[in-house]
Each structure stands twice: as C-alpha cells, then as structure tokens.
Structure 1
C-alpha cells in the first residue's frame, strides 16, 4: 500500500500531469459537440442525396459534406479537440490522457437525447455507466504507475509495423462486411486506428521536443496522417449507421484501450506496475468494452430505427 501512496503523491506533484488532465477534459467537451454537429451533417447529406452511406460514404457524399455548415462547424470543433489532446499528450503520459476522453460520452449522450428525442433507457444507462466506470478505473490505475522514457527506434519500428498490419486488416474487413453496414465494425475500426494515431502523435511530439526529427520520425508522421484519414472516413460512415453517442462510446473506449495496450507493451509506460495493476487493466477494459457492445445493442435510437426498418408492408393503415 505504501508503494501505491508514493506513486499517487508523485503523480499529483507533477505539474505536467496536472496540466494534461484539464486539457484532455476540454478536448472531450469539444469532441462531444463536434461529433453531434458532424452527425447532423452526415444525416442531412443522406437525405439530400437520397442514398445511404452505410456501405461507405461516396465521393459525392464527401463533397456534399463540405457544403454543410453543421458538418464544417463540427469538424472545426473536432480540430479544437485534437489541439487540446495533442497539448495534453505533450505534457502527460498517453495512458492518462487517452482514457479521459470517455467524459465526452456523457456529454454526447445528453446532447443526442435532447436533439433526437430518444431518451436513454435503463439498459442504455447501465451500458454507459459500464463504459465510464471501466475507463475511470483504467485511468486511475494508469495514473498511479505511469512513467515516461524516450522512445527508441526499435519501439517506433514495432509500432509502425503493427499499424501497417492493422490498416491492411481493417481495409480487408471493410471490403468483406461493408454491405452489411453494421455500426460496430466502423466504430471498432476507427477506435483501433485512432489508438495508433494517439500513440504516433505522442511519439512525434516527444521526438520534436527532444530535437530528434529523423527519417523514422518523418515515416511516423506519414503513418499518422494515413491513419487519421482512414479513421476519419470510418467515423463519418459510422455516423451514417449509428447515433453519435454510440460512435463516441466506441471511440472513447476502444481508442484509449488500444493506446494504453501499446503504451504498456511497447513503450513500457507502466514497467514498474505490480501484477494486480495489470489484472485491474484487464478487468476494467473488459467492463468498458462490454458497455460499448451492450449500448450498440440496446441504444434507444438504434432500436427505434431497427423497428422502422422491419415494419411489415401493409401494417401502416394510415
């Protein structure tokens, strides 16, 4: 217990980490509003074009998004969220910054309930609590044992190799399942990709701070841009098949879990953590993922849309 206390005191004596936490919280607020406005823009474009983006948004739909003020404003809000997150990553470990984004799930849920009229059900509320609770435990344990050290070239090569495998795998899966238009695929895919985006962003920032911008760092930046583009495409398509708070739930749970796994295994950001801490990571992560899966299944807007789609012909007598 004494080791835990020492770690906790060390964390809260570190002004960098204390600054990173409010920056990450502010980013979560911007993300919530950005997601809501982007979702509104995507749904408007679908109505105007008379086509669904569930199998992937077309080039015409993407161009129409640029003409929608709501989507553009949402994109600017997400840009502000990214700036806040990058600023937080510049001063605090990734395993602390990323999980804090789960706060945006609560804000987005309240916004979507007010705008769409689909109030959260007891089941969906329990799912949200599982998401937030799991991530809260996750970040608390991470905060106790988070440490940072310079990223070696070998670690960076491993991360880039894993990213390449993930990008190829996601594209192959997308080609196989795109016609089904299931929101969980797009949410999970974008969450995994953005987990790598956060990690690569942290690496690039650290290298720039250390004045060590070499060819490998440039390759890392290129991988970051490719991952951002593909992840953003999957997110926009996710808005076409699911409500914004469901999309945010996936991103704020899967994204940090992937980033933290990379931080733990490759970057060794919790090298001094005891065995019980890793067990806590596993349990907390499983609870959070369970929350996302059940929210996708019992979200009131998803259930309402599903019922509208499956109404038998001729059942409407009006």
Structure 2
C-alpha cells in the first residue's frame, strides 16, 4: 500500500478537478452543436447577400443573422458552452479542462458529414486524429508536470501587453487583406484570441474570489470582452468561408495551445518539468497544429 500512497501523493490534481472535467465535456457538446447551427445560419444569410462574398460579414449581414432561428439557437448553445467552460475553469486548472473541448471536433465532424451528406475521406479523418491526439498528449503530459502558480501583477501586465499586440495585428491584417482572407486565417486568429480569453477568464475568476477587483482586474475584464467580441466576429466569417468542423478544429487546438504556452512562457508553469516533457510539448503541439492545416487542405467543403 505504501508505493500506491506515494503514487497518489504525486498526482497534482485536486479533487475539485473531477467536478471541472465533466463540466468541460458538457461545454464541448454545446460548442459542437452551437457551431453547427451557427454555421447553417451564416451560410443562409451569405447566400442571400452574395455581393459581399469573401469580404467579411458586414453590419447588415450581422443584423440579418438575428433573424435566422438556426443562428440564434446556435448562439444560445454557445452561450451555454461558455457558462460550462467558465464553471470548469473555476473548479479545475486551465491546462486540464481547456483542451477537453477537442471532443467537440469529433462530434462536429460526424454531425457535419451526416447533415451535408459529405463522406469524410481518409486524409480528413487522419487530420482529426492528429488534432485530437496531439492536444490530449500535450495536456496529458502537462497535467502531470506543470506547476500551478499564483499570477503576479507583473505577469498579468505582460499578458495584457501581448494581447494588445495581438488585437492590433488582427485588426490591421483584417482591414488590409479582408478581400483575400479565407477560413484558415479566421480560424487561427479566433483560436489565438480565445486562448487569451480563457487565460484572462481564469485570472478574473481567481481575483474576484479573492476580493481583488481593482484597476488591473478591470483591465483584464475589458481585454477579455474585446478579445471575445473580435474572436466571435472572426468565427462568423470562418463559418462563411469554411465548414464548421474546420472552425472547431482551430478553436479546440489553437485556443488551448495558446493558453498553455502563456502558462509555460509567462507564468512559468513548466519551470519544474523535466527535459523529456518539454520535448513532448513541442512534438505534440506541432502534431496538433499540423492536423488543423491538413484538415483545412483536405476537407471536401473547405474553400482555401
């Protein structure tokens, strides 16, 4: 029994983590279904306003989305997904629950292929396996080697500065190249922005719980809202130029990878990880990202 007790003591998961895991999985289901319904609404709106095809959704199109029942239903489901995700972040570390959204990719791919009567080819299936497998390998190792540390004001300021740069780059590139942008750009940028959203949400929840709602926390909340708004707009444009499972692939791979990279580089959560774990981080992360590009390239519904 003594070796078993030693093993249990080495497991870094808090008992409350097991509350966060099922909440994250339920959120993934709502994310998948919400993506499918929103995609249907965006496609119908864009079909009736073909003069703006490929130029990004304009204000009129965004207003028309509110009249599409499928898009409204999808938005409500995504709202529930956010509620479950935030709840899971309250109970468990971000490095454990955030990547569990990868299950949404599997659900969305199957549902989308059935709804549109499109058979998933071997290359698409391989790409999905790469996405999900890479994410789970990354997180599986990180969960047992990363160290959860309190976020200092200095670290939080660094995160906010990086977010400001990302928001500026996203806005400038969209304005300059919006007529030639396709799904993969929107997917990656939305994933990057949502990675910051998840990180800041975790920080804000922690600070509110500790009663530290000062100017820095308010700035985090403002940055969270800006990143959420721009990320949501990019997601709608991604739906208009690619299939929903490509969008989910980007969000469930890029999003957690960005959040985890912030944790490693800025917060020092991998400071005690052995060299082999760092190697796994790099390899598994590269596999997941490569899977997204392969899905974009080989999906029968994708317009690159």
Deviations for 1:235-271, whole angstroms, at most 9, x for unmatched residues? Answer: 0000000000001001111011000000111122333
- Structure 2: stretches of 5+ with no match in the other structure: none
Say whether the 8 Å CA contact 1:8–1:143 is kept in structure 2.
no
CA distance in 1, matches of 2:149, 2:138: 21
In the alignment, what sits opposite 1:286? 286
Superposition deviation, residue 8 in structure 1: 8.0
> Which residue of structure 1 lines up, in the alignment, with residue 104 of structure 2?
104
Distance 1:182 1:56 in 2: 9
* Partner secondary structure for residue 300 of structure 1: coil
Match of 1:55 in 2: 55
1:119 match: secondary structure: coil
Moved more, 219-228 or 260-269: 260-269
Q: 1:54·1:241 contact (CA, 8 Å) conserved in 2?
A: yes
Deviation at 1:145, TM superposition (A): 2.2
Give CA-to-partner distance per residue, 1:35-92, whole Å, 9 cap, x none. Answer: 0000000001112233445321000000000111110110010011101111111121
- Give the secondary structure class of the aligned counterpart of 2:269: coil
Cα displacement (A) at 1:149 = 2.6
Pairing of 1:92-131 with structure 2 (within 5 A): 92-131=92-131
Question: What SS is found at the alignment partner of 1:11?
Answer: coil
CA distances 1:202-221 after superposition (whole Å, capped 9, x unpaired) = 11011011111111000110
CA distance in 1, matches of 2:52, 2:181: 10
**1:298 paired residue number:** 298
Change (3 A) 1:40 1:102: same
Residue equivalent to 2:12 = 11
Q: What secondary structure, in the 3-state scheme, does the structure 1 residue paired with 2:151 have?
A: coil
Superposed counterparts of 1:207-226, under 5 Å: 207-226=207-226
Instruction: Give unmatched runs, 5+ long, in structure 1.
Output: 307-318
C-alpha distance in 1 between matches for 2:86 and 2:216: 20
What per-residue deviation string (whole Å, max 9, x for no partner) do you get for residues 169-227 of structure 1?
11122123211131110101101111101011011011011111111000110000000
4+ residue segments displaced more than 6 Å:
none
Question: CA, structure 1 residues 177+239, in 2 after alignment: closer, same or farther (shift >3 Å)?
Answer: same
Moved more, 116-125 or 169-178: 169-178
The yes-or-no answer on 1:67 pairing with 2:93 is no
8 Å contact kept, 1:29–1:104: yes
Matches within 5 A, 1:262-277: 262-277=262-277
**CA drift at 1:272:** 2.0
Q: Distance in 1 between matches of 2:292 and 2:97?
A: 20
Q: Do 1:40 and 1:70's aligned partners in 2 also have CA atoms closer than 8 Å?
A: yes
Provide the C-alpha distance between the structure 2 equivalents of 1:8 and 1:126, rounded to a whole number of angstroms. 37
Q: Would the aligned equivalents of 1:53 and 1:237 in 2 still touch at CA under 8 Å?
A: no
Distance between the aligned counterparts of 1:128 and 1:153, measured in 2? Answer: 38
Alignment match, 2:198: 198
Would the alpha carbon gap of residues 8 and 103 (structure 1) be closer, same or farther in structure 2, given more than 3 Å must change?
farther
Counterpart for residue 181 of structure 2 = 181
Residue aligning to 1:134: 134
Question: Structure 2 length as normaliser, TM-score?
Answer: 0.95
Distance verdict in 2 for CA 1:35–1:53, change over 3 Å: farther
Q: Are the structure 2 counterparts of residues 164 and 78 from structure 1 closer, same or farther at C-alpha, using a change threshold of 3 Å?
A: same
